[in-house]
Amino acid sequence: MSTDATSSVQIGAWSMLGTPAAASLMSRVGADWVVLDSQHGLYDDAGVIAAVPAASSVPVHVRVSANTPALIGRALDAGAAGVIVPMVQDATEAATAASACRYAPEGTRSWGPLAAYRGEPTVPPAEANARVSCAVMVETPAAVADVDAIAAAPGVDIVFVGPFDLSIALGMDVADLLADRTPGNPLDRIVTACRAAGTVAGAFAGGRDAADALLGRGFTWVAVAVDTQLITAAGTALVADTRGAARRPEENR
C-alpha cells in the first residue's frame, strides 16, 4: 500500500447487499474504494467472486468473516485489492492476517488466483505482494491495549476501527466513544499508534456525522456510504416528500 495513504484522506463506500449490481453501483458513487462485507453483509464466497470484477472501477476490499488464511486468500484470489480482518486482538493475530495476504517469502498465501477463470492475466507474486492491503480491525479493549504493537506488526497497512463493536465492548454508546477526549481515550490512542508506525488509521463511519468526528480525530481512511442505509434513507425521504406534496393541494381546497 502506498505510503502516501497514511496522510491523505480517502473516503470509502460499503456494500452489504451481496450482489454484483449493488457492488457496481457503490463503486460509482465517487468513493476512493469500496468494501464488500462478508462478515455482517450478504456476500458469500460466490458473491465476492462475482462482485469484485463488477466493482473494479475502484479498489475493492473484502471484509472477511474471520481471521483465517483460507478466507483471506479466497478474497484475494477473487481479485480484491485487500482485506479487512475483524476482531484482531493482538500483534500476533495481526501478523498472522498480514502473512496470509502475501506469498512467500513475505507470507504464507497459497497460489491460486481466479483471474484465469475469467481469461485474464494473473498478477505475479512479487507484484501482488507489493499491491495488497491488509487492514486489521481493533474492536475490543484488549486490542486497544495492544494497538501500538498491532499498528507496527509486519505487513499491517491499516488499523481499522469498528466503532460499534468497540463501543459495546467498552460499555458506552458510539456517540460517547466518538466524543471521548479524556487522556488516553481509545480513538486518540489508535491514531497515535498508527502515526508512530506509519500505518493508516481507518474506521467505519456509516454516516456524515460520524465521519466528520472520525476525520476530526485524525482517521484518514473512512467508510461513509453504505448501500442499505442509502436505500432506506433516500427511499423514506422521497416517499414522505411525495406524499406530503400530494396532500398539500387537498389542504388548500
CA–CA separation, 245 and 253 (whole Å): 14
**Other Cβ atoms within 10 Å of 8 Cβ, number:** 11
DSSP letters spanning 133-151: EEEEEE-SHHHHHTHHHHH
- Catalytic center residues: 40
- The H or E element that residue 34 is part of is strand 33-37
CA–CA separation, 83 and 72 (whole Å): 7
Q: Which amino acid is at 152?
A: A
- Please say whether the beta carbons of 38 and 62 come within 8 A: yes
Helix and strand numbers, DSSP H then E, in the chain: 12, 8
Residues 6+ apart with CB under 8 A from 82: 1, 59, 61, 62, 76, 101, 132, 133, 134, 135, 157, 158
Q: Which amino acid is at 158?
A: I
